[in-house]
Amino acid sequence: MDVHILEIIYVAASILFILGLKMLSHPDTARKGNLWAAVGMVMAIIATIVLHKKDGQSIQNIPWIIAAIAVGTVLGWVMAKRVQMTAMPQMVSLFNGMGGACAAVISLIEFPHIDPAGGMMTGEVLTIMLGLMIGSVSFSGSMIAFGKLDGRINDIRSKALSVINIILLFGLVGMGAFIMMQDQPNTVLMYSFFGAALLYGILFVMPIGGADMPVVISLLNSFTGVAAACGGFLYGNQAMLTGGILVGSAGTILTILMCQAMNRPLSNVIFGAFGGGPSGGGDSDVGTIKEISISDAAVLLSYSQKAAIIPGYGLAVAQAQHACHELEKLLEDKGVEVVYAIHPVAGRMPGHMNVLLAEADVPYDKLKEMEDINPEMCNVDVVVVIGANDVVNPAAEDDPSSPIYGMPIIKVLDAKNVIVMKRSMGKGYAGIENSLFFHEKNRMLFGDAKDSLGKLISEVKNI
């Protein structure tokens, strides 16, 4: 009877996961969706502890399990409360890596308990091997991504490393097959396989440039989902299987969409990444920069009919999203139509700008995706670029020697006027010069984004 109740609860939890994921597609329902999915997870955990039995025996060491859950809950709560929006990608990488580590640990624990009577060439052993390899790669790769995003680890730019990675990947597959051909579980080989998978995860992410980190985070997230699904297969746990499939499929779809947004195949991201290294293309000055004063910028914006704001990582660094929203409301009070133009890979993780603006209560219908805003850009009087760089770089369209050539960008030069707010003339995350800064339509407004927006708000109020 307990088994049937447990299965029903797993199905209910799976439904909550699916509904929660669906609700995450819109800011108005995202918080509720997150809670629904969390309720599903709590249901699955409690039901497993109380109702799960193996060979007629209930789960043991419940106090230790509860203590571990309590420690993880407290740590997760504190980290989520304290994390700055600029450090959100790092936290996502860290938490994603923990999920991969859990999947790998499951495989390490279950491997010695394999019954060799039926041989090692079974679906159970294959699931364990895949869970260990994918989970380990996700863990170590996510830790390297965390270090890169946090500025603690630099890229290793070497074509030889790509060759080494391919050899190591084939070696892992061969080693896994060799382990499965043994007569009984060999823990020494298994831990060697585990170490090699960790090494591959490190070397897999090391050569990938900083500008491609959003794609890498999404890809590693899909790896964690697949590894978790392997655990669901292993235990016959529907909730774990559904959760893993949802994470894996969502991460895969998002990875594909982000690659399409950059007009690059995934293989090019992995083996031909740009960013963080020596720049190529567009490095020489193509003209002189022109600055604009706060008062002139305020007048230009106040007497416009339509303005577009393009947020970037610099906006997140300055924590200027609330000031940006205040400026938007002031301009609307003066009859100016204001929209936000969002590039799919702006920031350091998928949807970074959407999350940032949602935190400032910017209405979701004001956010325009790149493919929607570009046809409207010719009707925009002023574009204000705040901290964005590579996603508005004209080199992607007119400089075949540029590493980002072919990547779709927000076409700011189609607008009548452009104002770029930056601290300095520093290069973007891709490490290349931006010819937009020297264009005759553009004016530079130097300074901290939050400080500049504050002064701009004061000037607009006085007009």
- pLDDT for residue 263: 78
In whole angstroms, give the CA distance from residue 147 to residue 150. 5
Number of domains in the chain: 3
Hey, what are 416's tokens? Answer: 């009548």
Is residue 410 a part of any domain in this protein? Answer: yes
- pLDDT for residue 283: 47
- pLDDT for residue 433: 82
Same domain flag for 139 and 124:
yes
Closest residue by Cα to residue 134 from 96, 180, 161: 96
Which CATH number fits the domain that encloses residue 365?
3.40.50.1220
In whole angstroms, give the CA distance from residue 414 to residue 422. 21
165's CB contacts (< 8 A; 6+ apart) are 200, 203, 204, 207
- DSSP H stretches of helix in 363-436: 370-373, 395-398
- pLDDT for residue 241: 93
Is residue 283 a part of any domain in this protein? Answer: no
Contact 290, 443 (CB under 8 A): yes
- pLDDT for residue 281: 46
Which helix (H) or strand (E) segment holds residue 135: the answer is helix 123-149
In whole angstroms, give the CA distance from residue 225 to residue 15. 17
- pLDDT for residue 64: 94
Same domain flag for 92 and 216:
yes
Same domain flag for 254 and 149:
yes
Domain boundary among the residues 82, 104, 133 is at: 82
In whole angstroms, give the CA distance from residue 96 to residue 272. 24
Same domain flag for 72 and 106:
no
Same domain flag for 77 and 90:
no
- pLDDT for residue 266: 82
Q: The domain containing residue 254 runs over which residues?
A: 86-277
- DSSP H stretches of helix in 213-363: 213-235, 238-261, 266-271, 294-302, 313-318, 321-333, 352-359
Contact 390, 426 (CB under 8 A): no
Is residue 210 a part of any domain in this protein? Answer: yes
Same domain flag for 99 and 175:
yes
Same domain flag for 309 and 262:
no
Pairing of the two strands 57-58 and 306-311: unpaired
DSSP helix/strand/coil, 417: strand
Pairing of the two strands 417-422 and 337-342: unpaired
Domain boundary among the residues 54, 82, 110 is at: 82
- pLDDT for residue 280: 45
Instruction: Indicate the pTM of the whole model.
Output: 0.82
Q: What is the pLDDT of residues 13-62, one digit of tens each?
A: 999 999 999 998 877 788 899 999 999 999 999 999 998 887 778 888 89
Same domain flag for 37 and 164:
no
Same domain flag for 433 and 301:
yes
In whole angstroms, give the CA distance from residue 356 to residue 347. 10
Same domain flag for 227 and 346:
no
Of the CA atoms within 13 Å of residue 289, those in its CB half-sphere come to 18
**Residues of the chain whose pLDDT is less than 50?**
273-285
In whole angstroms, give the CA distance from residue 238 to residue 260. 33
Of the CA atoms within 13 Å of residue 217, those in its CB half-sphere come to 26
The question of whether 296 is a catalytic residue gets the answer no
Closest residue by Cα to residue 46 from 16, 10, 75, 3: 10
In whole angstroms, give the CA distance from residue 418 to residue 291. 11
Out of 28, 390, 399, 414, the active site residue is: 390
49's CB contacts (< 8 A; 6+ apart) are 59, 62, 65
CA–CA distance from 260 to each of 269, 347, 353, 406 (Å)?
11, 17, 18, 11
In whole angstroms, give the CA distance from residue 214 to residue 89. 8
